[in-house]
Each structure stands twice: as structure tokens, then as C-alpha cells.
Amino acid sequence: MLSPNILVLLPEIVLTAVGVLIMLAEPILPAASSRKPLGWLAIAGTILAAAGSWYQLQFGILHGFYNTIQADSFSVFFHLLIAAVVLVTLLGSLDYFDGHGTFSGEYYALTLFGAVGMMLMTSSVELLMVFIGLEISSISTYIMAGFRKGQATASESSIKYFLLGSFATAFFLYGIALVFGATGSTNLLAIAHGVAVTHTPTLAFLAVAMILVGLGFKVSAAPFHVWTPDVYQGAPSPVVGMMSTAPKAATFAVLLRILFGGFPVMEHRWAALIWIIAVLSMCIGNLGALLQRDVKRMLAYSSIAHAGYLLVAFTAFPADGIAAACFYTAAYAAMNVGAFAVITQLTGYDETARTLEDFTGMAAKRPVLTALLAFFLLSLIGIPFTGGFFGKFYVFTAALHAGNVWLAVIGLLNSGIACFYYLRLLAAMYARPAQQRIAETPTPSVTASSGRPLVSGSFVAVPGVPVPAAIGLGLAALATLVLGILPGGTLSLAQSASAQNQSDVCQQNPTPCAVMTAKEPDTH
């Protein structure tokens, strides 16, 4: 039997060990040889960590390290989610760095360390531990954002992310300090108790606002979103796929824990802040995306909008809202990481295709990849029988249940705007590229009756998709589809996660729970 302290951090420990192993093995390998074995090692480590996380599930709620770490089904849900995202990212990047002489060994190690930080965030119930997790994950992503060293945009991306990111974490840290001032503790359970009896509620509220600023930056919610388009544009596609999903999932988990676990008595006050942030994020994200011609920038704005949809769930009752937010995070992670995995394959290391014009006619060249990207885009729009649809569905049902009709209307109208730019990309990919139409002469088989010039069907040979990347893509597509057709399993996991996040508060501190349960009936 493992000691509780080891058990509670089992996945993090596994990942750290594998990461260190990769760092040690890297110099041993000859400089010219491929770093793929290290990538496979990282993949094995990720799977092992996920298994370790699953193993934790049977023990119910685990506490460790003087009650600063808590492994429950809430943390396991996010651990599995992060592991899955990292897995798809690693599978997609195995061949990405080939032949570009970058430090791909370190890349794999950094990915794992980043995952350690994110996982630590989701299982901490102590704000300082959250901060440590946040820093570990951020530092890894700062470096990874600039991994294509030769390119100016990559350096811009990395430095911008680093400067603004540090600034935001400072806000978060300041928030923690104020929380300590107001409640005398940085442990979430103690905070929940302290907030209920504090003599300085304004200070506590200020602390919540500071924490929201810090974490809002990490999830790229407006008005803290300005870094997103530039950073996403410059960072390598597989990294964007990861950093637009996994750290966000972790940060949302932290937000759920802090807001619903630490400050339930102030819900009416922070819910108003979240309301504003959600509306701003949805509107700015979608309107911004409308103006973009660069596909990665467009998806960056779209991720701002999706953060907005997700925040809508925070304004609902805890019981609905947490489960809805968990589900949305999972669905969003599946489709977004999938979309970026496709873009990784379509554009390659040098990003030959960037703008809408470059993607025009992609369907004829890479039919399967385009079909996959189309599927992910449809899921991002929220077309039924995809994960994105059920994500939106649960979130907006929860909001309506709590009486936030206008928020739901704004959100769904926004998804109407959003479909315009997704669709523009989709329509472009299935249209015929302009140059090609001129270049190619119609083949004799073309009948005069069709009235349209036709292409012969023979194209320049395109590189096939490497097997690992294909596996990763398949996983993401499968997850998006399963979440869209049989959401029951994931939802019940999300609900048990939500229940455990809640029961925990209730056991320790009956007052906020009484407030929460008492609030439900009066809307009926």
C-alpha cells in the first residue's frame, strides 16, 4: 500500500519522474539521432499517469500534505482530461520537429512538466499550492510558445506571453494575499468558513476580483484576452492545441474550486462579475474572429468566445453549473485540440498555409484531414451530435435553470455570429482554389452540360499523415463524436465530480450549503 502522500500525488509523481528521465536520457542520445524514442517515453508516461489517476478514483476523497492536496473525482476528471490532451499533443508532435534541429527532447520533458503543473492545480485545495501549480505549468508553456526559435513571431509570442503572464500571476498572488488578510487562511475550506464570518467582506470581494483577473488571463477571458491572438499565431500548432485547452481546463477547475468551494456565500457578488466577463468574452471573441483572415488567429478569438460560453455555467446553481462547466471543458478540449492537430498536419512546421486563402480548396488535396477539420469546426459551431452541441446545451440549460434568460439569449445569438466565421473557413476549404481553376485545363470527360470548369483529380503528391498523429487525431475525433452521441458517461462523471466538490464544502461548513440549497426553490 502506498503512503497517502504519495498516492494523492501519484499521477504528478509519475509524470515528473518520466520528465526527469527524458531530461537525463536526452544528452546520452547522439546529437544527430531522432528524439522520437523520448517522445514515445513521454507518451507512455502520460498513459501511466492517467492510469494512476484512475486508480485514485476507488479511494474516494484522498487528502495529503497537510490537507493542501485533495484527490477526488473532481480532480480525477480533470487529470484524465489533461492527460488526454497531452497525449494527443504528444502524438501529434512526434513527427512535427523532425529535421528542424530544435530541442525536441526538452520539448517532451517540458510538455510533461507543464502537465504536472496543471494537474497539481486541479488537485490543490490550498491557494499557494494552486499558485505553484500555475507557475510550473506557465513556465513550461512560456518556453514552448517560442519553440520555433528562428521565427520572429515565435519569439514575439513567447515574450509577450511571458511578460503578460507574469503580470497576471502577480494579480493572482496579490489576490491570495488579500484573501489571507480577510479570512486568515489560504486553505479553501478555511476560507469558506472565514468569508462567512469576516468583518471585511469588501476586502474579501476585492480578493475574489484579483483572483478573477489572474485566472481570467489564463483562460483568455475578455478583457484579459489581448495576448491570445499574437501568442497563438506565433506558437507551434501542437503547442497551441495544448495551451488552448489543457491549462484552460486546469484554470477552470481552479476557478470552480475557488469560487464555489471558497466563496459560496459571496456568489451573488462574484456572479455579477462573471456575468460581465462572460458577455464580454463571447462578444469580443466572436466579433474579433469575424475580422481575422489568419486561421490560427481566428481560432484564438474563437477560444476567447468559448471561454465566455464556459463562464456562463458559473452563473448557474452550483449543482448544475459545475457539471455543465466540467462537461463543456471536456468537449471544448476534445474539439479544439483536434482542430489544432489537423492544422498541425495541414500546415507543417513551416506553416505554409496560414490564411483563409491558403486553406481554399484544401478538401481536394487532403480530403480526410479536411473532413476531420470540418467535423471539429461543426462541433465548435455546436451542431447536434457533436460534443460542442451538448456542451452548449448543458451550459445554457443550467443558466436558464438559474433564471439567466438574457445570458442564454446573448450566448446563443453569439453562437449564431460564431458560425459565420467557422463556416467561412469550412466553405473555403470545400471551394475550389482560384489559381488552380485557371491553371488546370478541363479534361475531356467534362460535359458541356455541367457548365462549370472541372478539375481532373490528379494532384501534386502530398505527404501522408504519420501514424502516431493519425492515432491522436482519431482519438480527438472519437471523443468529440462520443461526447455528442452518448454524453451520459462523461456527464455522470462530471456530476459526481461536481457532487464531490460540493459535498466537501457542505461537510466542513454547513452555512454556505444552506444558502445554496435554500436558493433553489424560489425560481420554480
Binding site for other proteins (CB under 8 A): 363-364, 378, 383-385, 389, 393, 396-397, 400-401, 405, 408-409, 412-413, 415-416, 419-420, 423-424, 426-428, 430-431, 445-452, 454-455, 457, 486-488, 491-492, 495
Cβ–Cβ < 8 Å for 92, 475: no
Q: Enumerate helices (H) and strands (E) in the chain, giving the number of each.
A: 24, 2
Alpha-carbon gap, residue 409 to 400, rounded angstroms:
9
Alpha-carbon gap, residue 81 to 233, rounded angstroms:
24
Tell me the HSE value of 239 on the side-chain side, using a 13 A CA sphere.
Answer: 28
Alpha-carbon gap, residue 167 to 160, rounded angstroms:
11
Tell me whether residue 154 or residue 494 sits nearer to other proteins (CB atom): 494
- Identify the CA nearest to 20 among candidates 42, 53, 49, 4: 42
Alpha-carbon gap, residue 469 to 455, rounded angstroms:
30
> What's the min distance (Å) between Cβ of 341 and other proteins?
21
> What's the min distance (Å) between Cβ of 311 and other proteins?
18
- Per the structure block, which three cell numbers stand in for 78? 480533470
Tell me whether residue 142 or residue 396 sits nearer to other proteins (CB atom): 396
Judged by DSSP in three states, 402 sits in: coil
> What's the min distance (Å) between Cβ of 304 and other proteins?
19
How many of the other CB atoms lie within 10 Å of CB of 417? 16
> What's the min distance (Å) between Cβ of 271 and other proteins?
18
- Identify the CA nearest to 371 among candidates 466, 481, 247: 481
Judged by DSSP in three states, 69 sits in: strand
> What's the min distance (Å) between Cβ of 278 and other proteins?
16
> What's the min distance (Å) between Cβ of 486 and other proteins?
8
> What's the min distance (Å) between Cβ of 446 and other proteins?
7
Tell me whether residue 272 or residue 409 sits nearer to other proteins (CB atom): 409
Q: Bridge-partner residues for 62, per DSSP?
A: 71
Tell me whether residue 21 or residue 290 sits nearer to other proteins (CB atom): 290
Q: Bridge-partner residues for 53, per DSSP?
A: none
> What's the min distance (Å) between Cβ of 431 and other proteins?
6
Report the length, in residues, of the chain. 524
Tell me whether residue 198 or residue 370 sits nearer to other proteins (CB atom): 370
What's the one-letter identity of residue 435? Q
Tell me whether residue 99 or residue 451 sits nearer to other proteins (CB atom): 451
Alpha-carbon gap, residue 439 to 73, rounded angstroms:
58
> What's the min distance (Å) between Cβ of 448 and other proteins?
6
Judged by DSSP in three states, 170 sits in: helix
Tell me whether residue 352 or residue 445 sits nearer to other proteins (CB atom): 445
Alpha-carbon gap, residue 195 to 180, rounded angstroms:
10
- Per the structure block, which three cell numbers stand in for 201? 467582506
> What's the min distance (Å) between Cβ of 298 and other proteins?
15
Tell me whether residue 106 or residue 320 sits nearer to other proteins (CB atom): 320
Question: Which DSSP symbol is given to 62?
Answer: E
Tell me whether residue 53 or residue 370 sits nearer to other proteins (CB atom): 370
- Identify the CA nearest to 274 among candidates 380, 179, 402, 416: 402
> What's the min distance (Å) between Cβ of 521 and other proteins?
14
Tell me whether residue 15 or residue 408 sits nearer to other proteins (CB atom): 408
Tell me whether residue 27 or residue 457 sits nearer to other proteins (CB atom): 457
Give the rounded distance of the alpha carbon of 166 from its chain centre.
20
Judged by DSSP in three states, 64 sits in: strand
Question: Which DSSP symbol is given to 57?
Answer: G
